Chain A
Amino acid sequence: MTTRTDTAPLHLPIAAEPRNEGVPLDLDRVAGVRANTSAIERRASTLSGRRSVKNDYQAAWLCRAISCIDLTTLAGDDTVGRVARLCAKARQPVREDLLHALGMSGLTVGAVCVYHDMIAPAKAALEGSGIPVAAVSTGFPAGLSPFHLRVAEIEASVAEGADEIDIVISRRHVLNGDWQALYEEMRSFRAACGAAHVKAILATGELGSLRNVARASLVCMMAGADFIKTSTGKESVNATLPVTLVMLRAIRSYHAATGFRVGYKPAGGISKAKDALVYLAMIKEELGDRWLRPDLFRFGASSLLGDIERQLEHHVTGRYSAGWRHGVG
């Protein structure tokens, strides 16, 4: 077991950043949102050719990526043992000899993300690590259970000790352009979260257009979301760079208008170290370095860590690595 790193306090946003209180719903702003899909795709597809990090810089960036991972298990067959194993990996995401060689001992992931019933085992397993526990909620992933039950689920998870709640929005409100309903739903969820931070999962793969992604992002932020998150990981299309660009620009615009920094979490589909670097570069470019911290950025990923571990071993030893050389989560 390792000691807390000095970056650990940053995991809890409230320590460093005034929390997004939300603002009244501004329908004119929502209506004024533009998103040119072709131009956004061009920017997204050329970014990896415009930004490159090599050698020690790459190793450092990959460590940064690890520090921002919400290590996740959201499976029907999750057990206490399975969650404990994942939490152990969260504390020691990379072999200690490699971290030592990199001068990065004490590095942990950003959080562990589980279903409600696994909150208590996760809290127990992470005791003393400073690693927060996030719970998916509100009838995840479809969000179609009765509204009062969705709110009650949040309250139960918070009572159980969850530090962060990942809620799912009602996609139908976006698809029907019912921004008032989306705003009110989000506000209710936010209120139910209390001190726990709330990540709004937009399920971007089901929203139909980048413009809808931008509008939903804006409405959720206006309603007080601490983070906006792309996907549940269960949609057929999850996090993509174009969607990310749209959401980052929405965050930038909201920050410019209100002064609140809202976090961003792409989830699902990011499994390669190389992809993680592009995401980090996009955040650095569009939002700035302040957002490259776990209090404002998370990767929702389960297999990404494995690839990063292999890349880091290659960096340290100069030899290509193999999966079985690293402890599974």
Chain B
Amino acid sequence: MNDGTMTVKEIFESMEYGPAPESAAEAYAWLVDQGDRFGHFIGGDFTAPGEGFQARNPASGEVLATLTQATAQDVDDAVVAARKAQLRWEGLGGPGRARYLYALARLVQKNARLFAVLETLDNGKPIRESRDIDIPLVHRHFYNHAGLAQLMDAERPTMRAHGVCGQVIPWNFPLLMLAWKVAPALAAGNTVVLKPAEWTSLTALLFADMCKQAGLPDGVLNIVTGDGAVGEMVVGHTDIDKVAFTGSTAVGRRIRELTAGQGKALTLELGGKSPYIVFDDADLDSAIEGLVDAIWFNGGQVCCAGSRLLVQEGISEDFHARLRERMGKLRVGNPLDKCIDVGAMVDPVQVARVREMLDRSEAGERFSPAVEMPEEGAYFPPTLITGLAPSDGLMQDEIFGPVLVSTTFRTPDEAVTLANNTRYGLAASVWSENLSLALGVAPRLEAGVIWVNGANMFDAAAPFGGVRESGFGREGGWAGLDAYLRPAAKPKRLNPVAGFTGSGAVEGMDRTPKHYIGGKQARPDGGYSRVVYGKSGTPLGQVPVANRKDVRNAVEAARAAAGWARTNGHGRAQILYYMAENLSARSDDFARLLNAMTGRRGGAAEVEASVDRLFTWAAWADKFAGEAVNVPIRGMALALREPVGVIGAFCPDEAPLLGLVSVLGAAMAMGNRAVLVASEPFPMAAMEFVQVLETSDVPAGVANVLVGPVADLAPHMAGHADIEAVWSFASANLSEVIERESAANLKRTWGTNGHARDWYDPTDCRAFLEAATEVKTVWVPYGE
């Protein structure tokens, strides 16, 4: 009955757990049924297996199956199949698609154990996790998205699917990441070409098998297997409309560069170094238990792992001592054993990478408990490194293994400073029994997901995603679905607009051409200015010529105006209304200027629309705060809309005043600071608008206006590490350069991609509100 070495009586004395293996027989049987060799899943069928690579069990090194490395032709076939299926799939309507998503949810549920065991075999994560967390979240995701599909025709009537999505997913949650990608894409009416990670493709292939059983129309979901080269082929394919990627920041950056200017929608869910903050009034035992779920869940191979422990100084010794004791209870070993906490890492390569990373540094005190470790297989011991400083590499770099690093703080302010001292911004945990403290800290943390007194909580209804170099876009909830939708109206082409030339002297009193930076008029750094001419060739005035240093100065001013983000919506509305008032008072001047500058007669209408637009943004200022989302815990989860931060924007040329006001108003209303670059051909309205800003109590640095050559400024703006988002509405198509340069800090970008916008459409608000905010999901479990 046991391994034969101990009698019942002996166990009665020793009270050891003993082996509790989950049977893998069914999973092996499925692999054998498939011939242990897999091709791709294209157009509703598996292709013949080709040249490829082996899927191995990292716990043992055993070969599970042989997979096929996709060729460019395979990828092309998959994209063609997806394209062919797309219109009909979308044409089924939300309720039609909901039936299929429901069927997939049910099939995952009915085959839950098979999926769980196969996942554990392929990935090395404990069966407890695949069985109790991964797979239940997968069917929850499909159920929830069956619901989103059912409701979207009514709830998103002006939107439609992007078309064909190229999706590349990681190896740490193979099937769950498939669900997070595939469910919203299909719900929205897209078709998909998915590339699973080459280390962990098996559950995706089992899922393909389920798609056949569900009768999913051919080509709606296509799966191609292979390494990063295949991923590049998928995301770079010219007939892909939308790219979604989860994985490392390095690869995410590469994808951003690769797709720059291709007009593809993009969402990236990347790495993290998430802080886990423990205040001295926390339930320390629960906080320690939470850490087990934060950093030793899936062996720390979790993008949102609470890998950076920040503990209040006064309790740190006690806390670390208790933590070390708790670590001694972790059971490391065969992931198929039901009594194991930490399984194998996904591949020996990862073990070597983590080991090397730790070997490179000597900082801090290291501790690994004296727990039994398997002699073979890809295992790494649970490790705690205390006494680190934020300047140590191990505090900054993502380790992606069962390694927790730790430092201390003294005050809540210092906790926030240390927590935000990172390139990343995916998640954060805050532990305190003082709700005022915890809920006060949560909004100050730069992260997409905050867990109050918890860690690693996920749900299909709760948006998940990061800020900073953790990427952009959300998965889960309506926000996640929106990432797979675009406006239904066909966009018009945006043609480049040129300014006028002319000659002669400027009439009237000489006015010094200056930028508006930090609430003051500032001379251009380069010391250059130029004359702007009207249609008839008469000079209208002089404007400064901005260079990269002016951008730098403006960004510094904007960064310093951080208080704006903390003002309330009512207060921001007051200022926007005041701007409207002051603009209205000068409407004749502006109308004349617009007419002179553009040679058109719409000036008065544009000023009137601009006043109205400021009213609109003032109206929105206190009405787009987010929502409570329904998650299966006792507690609440809030999907808050927070300001993006500092937004750099190239203003449109078609409506030099209205466009500027639309962009600035949206940014300001949501609590952002803006660095605006005026329309290059028609900059005078922006120059004049500075006087409105100066008279409207706009705090210094909230709105900054530069005039200069947009093509020269775009790379500096997009490459600036202290800007969170760049919007481009200039008629010169800057999308490619902005998207490419933005890869440096993975800032959010929003550009024309050569498409025009109807600036006079008073209902065009939603896209601005979404671009001006980022969803922060705050989980607050409660109850006593």
Partners in one complex: yes
- Distance in angstroms from B131 CB to nearest chain A CB is 8
Of the stretches B2-10, B573-581, B595-603, B670-678, the one at the interface is: B2-10
The yes or no answer to B417 lying at the interface (CB within 8 A) is: no
Residue of A49, A63, A211, A284 touching B12 (CB-CB under 8 A): A63
Q: Which residue of B lies closest to A288 (CB)?
A: B329
Q: Which residues, 280 to 300 on B, are CB-close (under 8 Å) to A?
A: 281-287, 289-290
The yes or no answer to B766 lying at the interface (CB within 8 A) is: no
Q: Per-position contact with B for A28-46: 1 when CB-CB < 8 Å, else 0?
A: 0000001111111011001
Of the stretches B169-177, B624-632, B776-784, the one at the interface is: B776-784
Q: Per-position contact with B for A286-326: 1 when CB-CB < 8 Å, else 0?
A: 00010010000000000000000000000100000000000
Q: Please, how many angstroms separate the alpha-carbon atoms of A63 and B14 in the complex?
A: 12
Q: Which residues of the other chain, B, contact A211 by a CB distance below 8 angstroms?
A: 784
Contact B285 A54 (CB under 8 A): no
- Distance in angstroms from A143 CB to nearest chain B CB is 24
Q: Which residues, 625 to 676 on B, are CB-close (under 8 Å) to A?
A: 633-635
Interface-centre pick from B18, B284, B634 (highest chain A CB count, 10 A): B18
Q: Per-position contact with A for B137-154: 1 when CB-CB < 8 Å, else 0?
A: 000000000000000000
Contact A57 B286 (CB under 8 A): no
The yes or no answer to B758 lying at the interface (CB within 8 A) is: no
Contact A102 B784 (CB under 8 A): no
- Distance in angstroms from A68 CB to nearest chain B CB is 11
Contact A52 B9 (CB under 8 A): no
Q: Which residues of the other chain, A, contact B329 by a CB distance below 8 angstroms?
A: 285
The yes or no answer to A60 lying at the interface (CB within 8 A) is: yes
Q: Which residues of the other chain, B, contact A280 by a CB distance below 8 angstroms?
A: 15
Q: Please, how many angstroms separate the alpha-carbon atoms of A281 and B621 in the complex?
A: 54
Q: Which residue of A lies closest to B338 (CB)?
A: A52
Q: Which residues of the other chain, B, contact A52 by a CB distance below 8 angstroms?
A: 17, 20, 338-339
Contact B635 A38 (CB under 8 A): yes
Interface-centre pick from B1, B281, B433 (highest chain A CB count, 10 A): B1
Contact B286 A51 (CB under 8 A): no
Q: Please, how many angstroms separate the alpha-carbon atoms of A209 and B18 in the complex?
A: 36
Contact B1 A36 (CB under 8 A): no
Interface SS of chain B: loop
Q: Per-position contact with A for B7-36: 1 when CB-CB < 8 Å, else 0?
A: 111111011111110000000000000000
- Distance in angstroms from B3 CB to nearest chain A CB is 9
Q: Which residues of the other chain, B, contact A55 by a CB distance below 8 angstroms?
A: 1-2, 18
Q: Which residues of the other chain, B, contact A285 by a CB distance below 8 angstroms?
A: 329
Once A38-B454, A64-B15, A289-B15 are accepted as A-B contacts, the answer to whether A103 and B8 lie under 8 Å apart by CB is yes
Q: Please, how many angstroms separate the alpha-carbon atoms of A35 and B281 in the complex?
A: 10
Q: Please, how many angstroms separate the alpha-carbon atoms of A49 and B635 in the complex?
A: 23
Contact B8 A37 (CB under 8 A): no
Q: Which residues of the other chain, B, contact A37 by a CB distance below 8 angstroms?
A: 783-784
The yes or no answer to B128 lying at the interface (CB within 8 A) is: yes
Q: Which residues of the other chain, A, contact B155 by a CB distance below 8 angstroms?
A: none
Q: Which residue of A lies closest to B126 (CB)?
A: A50
Q: Which residues of the other chain, B, contact A61 by a CB distance below 8 angstroms?
A: 11-12, 15
Q: Please, how many angstroms separate the alpha-carbon atoms of A310 and B281 in the complex?
A: 47
Size bracket of the A interface: 35 or more
The yes or no answer to A4 lying at the interface (CB within 8 A) is: no
Q: Please, how many angstroms separate the alpha-carbon atoms of A122 and B342 in the complex?
A: 49
- Distance in angstroms from A289 CB to nearest chain B CB is 5
Q: Which residue of B lies closest to A208 (CB)?
A: B784
Once A38-B782, A38-B783, A42-B454 are accepted as A-B contacts, the answer to whether A50 and B341 lie under 8 Å apart by CB is yes
- Distance in angstroms from B432 CB to nearest chain A CB is 9
Residue of A40, A54, A102 touching B286 (CB-CB under 8 A): A40
Contact B132 A49 (CB under 8 A): yes
Q: Please, how many angstroms separate the alpha-carbon atoms of A318 and B433 in the complex?
A: 50
Contact B453 A36 (CB under 8 A): yes
Q: Please, how many angstroms separate the alpha-carbon atoms of A178 and B782 in the complex?
A: 26
Residue of A43, A49, A54 touching B289 (CB-CB under 8 A): A43
- Distance in angstroms from B435 CB to nearest chain A CB is 11
- Distance in angstroms from B291 CB to nearest chain A CB is 11
Contact B286 A50 (CB under 8 A): no
Once A56-B11, A104-B8 are accepted as A-B contacts, the answer to whether A36 and B132 lie under 8 Å apart by CB is no
Q: Which residues of the other chain, A, contact B128 by a CB distance below 8 angstroms?
A: 49-50
Contact A103 B9 (CB under 8 A): yes
Q: Please, how many angstroms separate the alpha-carbon atoms of A317 and B16 in the complex?
A: 23
Q: Per-position contact with A for B302-339: 1 when CB-CB < 8 Å, else 0?
A: 00000000000000000000000000010000000011
Residue of B16, B287, B453 touching A57 (CB-CB under 8 A): B16
Q: Please, how many angstroms separate the alpha-carbon atoms of A37 and B338 in the complex?
A: 26
Q: Per-position contact with A for B701-735: 1 when CB-CB < 8 Å, else 0?
A: 00000000000000000000000000000000000
Q: Which residues of the other chain, A, contact B289 by a CB distance below 8 angstroms?
A: 39, 43
Once A38-B453, A61-B15 are accepted as A-B contacts, the answer to whether A56 and B1 lie under 8 Å apart by CB is yes
Q: Which residues of the other chain, A, contact B341 by a CB distance below 8 angstroms?
A: 50
The yes or no answer to A221 lying at the interface (CB within 8 A) is: no
Q: Which residue of A lies closest to B454 (CB)?
A: A39
Contact A57 B784 (CB under 8 A): no
Once A43-B286, A50-B341, A56-B8 are accepted as A-B contacts, the answer to whether A36 and B433 lie under 8 Å apart by CB is yes
Contact A51 B339 (CB under 8 A): yes
The yes or no answer to A85 lying at the interface (CB within 8 A) is: no
- Distance in angstroms from B532 CB to nearest chain A CB is 62
- Distance in angstroms from B280 CB to nearest chain A CB is 10
Residue of B12, B16, B282, B784 touching A210 (CB-CB under 8 A): B784
Once A34-B282, A36-B433, A42-B454 are accepted as A-B contacts, the answer to whether A51 and B17 lie under 8 Å apart by CB is yes
- Distance in angstroms from A210 CB to nearest chain B CB is 7
The yes or no answer to A274 lying at the interface (CB within 8 A) is: no
- Distance in angstroms from B340 CB to nearest chain A CB is 9
The yes or no answer to A95 lying at the interface (CB within 8 A) is: no
Once A42-B454, A249-B285 are accepted as A-B contacts, the answer to whether A53 and B784 lie under 8 Å apart by CB is no
Q: Please, how many angstroms separate the alpha-carbon atoms of A49 and B22 in the complex?
A: 12
The yes or no answer to A59 lying at the interface (CB within 8 A) is: yes
Once A50-B339, A60-B8, A104-B12 are accepted as A-B contacts, the answer to whether A39 and B453 lie under 8 Å apart by CB is yes
Q: Per-position contact with B for A172-201: 1 when CB-CB < 8 Å, else 0?
A: 000000000000000000000000000000
- Distance in angstroms from B332 CB to nearest chain A CB is 13
Q: Per-position contact with A for B336-351: 1 when CB-CB < 8 Å, else 0?
A: 0011010000000000
Q: Which residues of the other chain, A, contact B783 by a CB distance below 8 angstroms?
A: 37-38
Q: Which residues of the other chain, A, contact B453 by a CB distance below 8 angstroms?
A: 36, 38-39
Q: Please, how many angstroms separate the alpha-carbon atoms of A35 and B287 in the complex?
A: 10
Q: Which residue of A lies closest to B282 (CB)?
A: A34
A-B contact pairs, 9 of them (CB 8 A): A34-B284, A34-B286, A35-B283, A36-B283, A37-B784, A52-B17, A52-B20, A57-B17, A60-B10
Apart from A34-B286, A38-B453, A249-B285, list 7 A-B contacts with CB within 8 A. Answer: A37-B784, A52-B20, A54-B20, A56-B7, A56-B18, A57-B20, A60-B9
Which 10 A-B residue pairs are closest in the complex by CB-CB distance?
Answer: A57-B18, A60-B11, A38-B781, A39-B286, A34-B283, A36-B283, A56-B2, A52-B338, A52-B20, A55-B1
A residues near B, CB below 8 A?
A: 34-40, 42-43, 46, 49-57, 59-61, 63-64, 67, 102-104, 209-211, 249, 280-281, 284-285, 289, 292, 315
B residues near A, CB below 8 A?
A: 1-2, 6-12, 14-20, 128, 131-132, 281-287, 289-290, 329, 338-339, 341, 433, 453-454, 633-635, 781-784
